[in-house]
Amino acid sequence: MPETRIRTRLTRGAALVASVLGLVAIAAPASADLTLNNDQVLAVRQAVMRTNSAFNGLVGAQAKGQITIPPDQLKAIGEAWLRYGKLAPALFPAGSGMDKNPKSKAKPEIWSDAAGFKTKLDAYAKATSDFQAAASKGDAGPVKTATEEVGKACQGCHETYRAR
């Protein structure tokens, strides 16, 4: 099993994921390298993506008028999404794609077209940050616009970089 060494960025990232997802905190000094194997990287990445999907389902249902999310919970989703936007780049270390791990659907283009992938990461970071800003104020119109913007950022990345 090839091991992927990930530097401080993922140490911080993993702490964020752990706190956002309520997972067991990873005890590592801030300056230490964290070594995750391919399956562990994939587990974190897919867990983040499934949480993305759960958030999207909730805010999408609200945008359609099917549910009303209480303001404090909407804010919490915004804050978690803002963190995910910052964390996402650390979830794709080289060597963790579908060409190296058959359980992954991350296409090799993520690494061969790193500049293109970065535009998708940036779009996601912006959309999630805008969502957080809108959710913190709680006005329905801007929240709905930001919901659509996040949805486009998900799709925009998946259509090129995620295998079906």
Please report, as ranges, the residues that interact with ligand HEC according to CB under 6 A. 42, 45-46, 49-50, 52-53, 56, 88, 104-106, 120-121, 124, 150, 153-154, 157-158, 161-162
For the CA atoms of the chain, what is the radius of gyration? 16
* Residue placing its CB nearer to ligand HEC in the complex, 8 or 51: 51
* Residue placing its CB nearer to ligand HEC in the complex, 34 or 92: 92
DSSP conformation class of 97: S
Q: What are the C-alpha distances in Å from 68 to residues 7, 74, 85, 134? A: 40, 9, 24, 15
* Residue placing its CB nearer to ligand HEC in the complex, 67 or 114: 114
Six-digit token string for 91: 């979830």
- Counting every residue, how long is the chain? 164
Q: Reduced to 3 states, what is the DSSP secondary structure of residue 26? A: coil
* Residue placing its CB nearer to ligand HEC in the complex, 4 or 28: 4
The residues that bridge with 19 in the sheet, in sequence order, are: none
CB of 125 to ligand HEC, least distance (A): 9
Question: How many H helices and E strands in the chain?
Answer: 6, 2
CB of 85 to ligand HEC, least distance (A): 9
Six-digit token string for 158: 């998946």
* Residue placing its CB nearer to ligand HEC in the complex, 28 or 58: 58
CB of 99 to ligand HEC, least distance (A): 11
CB of 24 to ligand HEC, least distance (A): 20
Opening angle at CA 32, ends 107 and 102, nearest 5: 20
CB of 50 to ligand HEC, least distance (A): 5
